[in-house]
Amino acid sequence: LASRDFKKENTVFSIDGSQIGGNKIIIMAGPCAIENREQIVETALAVKKAGAVALRGGAFKPRTSPYSFQGLGEEGLKLMAEARDMAGMAAVTEVTAPEQVALVAQYADVLQIGARNMQNFALLNAVGESHKPVLLKRGMSSTIEEFLNAAEYILSHNNPRVILCERGIRTFETYTRNTLDINAIPVLKSLTHLPVVVDPSHGTGKREYVAAVSKAAIAAGADGLIIEVHPDPEVALSDGAQSLRPHEFEELMKELKPIAEAV
């Protein structure tokens, strides 16, 4: 179902009135994790003003260590929905377990499947059965074929609205957090009709490289970006080192415009 052989035309669908998979670039932005009302509201208003159409933010955080901040749970979802409504945009947030899908779907416009859960087949089936678009992140050690098979689980459970997200993979290189696989963009665009977005924040892990990689992703044909933005990255509870400050995000949005127009 994910294959271009099955369906030739690009899959295009609306996220809160903005088309993804069509001619326009879609930007989703926000903090790694929802931390408190002030943080999420301030970020939502700033990224919306700069041109983002969707707010991102995690309430259920799949952290490497059990002692790291795990997210605010349902309280976080409520704050996210409040900020989303104030800013007038869509909201993307991660769901980490099948039994959470109904709850998260009450607050979110797009359900995110994190890299660590790309092959959590029970979860893929559960979001397939929901009626929300799904942003599926590539597993950090998965091949493109495995990535597309993960999408296939969602599609085969009757949910056609899947967005693929390249977020960097593990390589021998350790200077950056992950190695963003730029190749995956044209490869996926040729193999599948699904929209492809890039996460330059997790792809690099370092704020100073996010802008360059964002531009490369758009130039390579990505349909959009999902970028971490935090009003004060120094005190962020997760992923501060890779989060842009609102003014840096605004600057990047301006720099992306001519590239988006050229592709």
Using CB under 6 A as the criterion, which residues of the chain lie in contact with ligand PEP when the complex forms?
Answer: 32, 58, 62, 114-116, 137, 167, 199, 202
Would you say 9 or 43 has its CB closer to ligand PEP? 43
Residue 59 interacting with Mn ion (CB under 5 A): no
Compute the distance between CA of residue 78 and CA of residue 95 in angstroms, rounded to an integer.
14
- Work out what residue 167 binds among ligand PEP, Mn ion, none; the CB cut-off runs from 5 to 8 Å by kind: ligand PEP
3-class SS of residue 202: helix
- Work out what residue 137 binds among ligand PEP, Mn ion, none; the CB cut-off runs from 5 to 8 Å by kind: ligand PEP
Task: State the greatest distance between any 2 C-alpha atoms of the chain, in Å, as a whole number.
Answer: 48
Compute the distance between CA of residue 40 and CA of residue 51 in angstroms, rounded to an integer.
16
Compute the distance between CA of residue 48 and CA of residue 114 in angstroms, rounded to an integer.
23
What is the contact mask toward Mn ion in residues 187 to 226, using x (rule: CB under 5 A)? ----------------------------------------
Q: How far is the CB of 168 from Mn ion (least distance, A)?
A: 11
Would you say 115 or 150 has its CB closer to ligand PEP? 115
Would you say 239 or 248 has its CB closer to Mn ion? 239
Would you say 116 or 170 has its CB closer to ligand PEP? 116
- Work out what residue 246 binds among Mn ion, ligand PEP, none; the CB cut-off runs from 5 to 8 Å by kind: none
Q: Match 């879609």 to its residue by tokens.
A: 26
Confirm if 55 and 85 have CB atoms less than 8 A apart: no
Three-state SS letters, 65-104: CCCCCCCCCHHHHHHHHHHHHHHCCEEEEECCCHHHHHHH
Q: How far is the CB of 56 from Mn ion (least distance, A)?
A: 9
* Alpha carbon separation from 89 to 29, 75, 94, 168 (Å, rounded): 11, 19, 17, 26
* Alpha carbon separation from 262 to 23, 54, 195, 218, 256 (Å, rounded): 11, 23, 19, 10, 10
Residue 239 interacting with Mn ion (CB under 5 A): yes
Residue with smallest beta-carbon separation from ligand PEP: 114
Q: What's the chain's length in residues?
A: 263
Confirm if 76 and 34 have CB atoms less than 8 A apart: yes
Q: How far is the CB of 116 from ligand PEP (least distance, A)?
A: 6
Residue 32 interacting with Mn ion (CB under 5 A): yes
Compute the distance between CA of residue 175 and CA of residue 173 in angstroms, rounded to an integer.
6
- Of the candidate spans 160-168, 175-183, 191-199, 239-247, the one that interacts with Mn ion by CB under 5 A turns out to be 239-247
Q: How far is the CB of 6 from ligand PEP (least distance, A)?
A: 27
Binding site for Mn ion (CB under 5 A): 32, 239
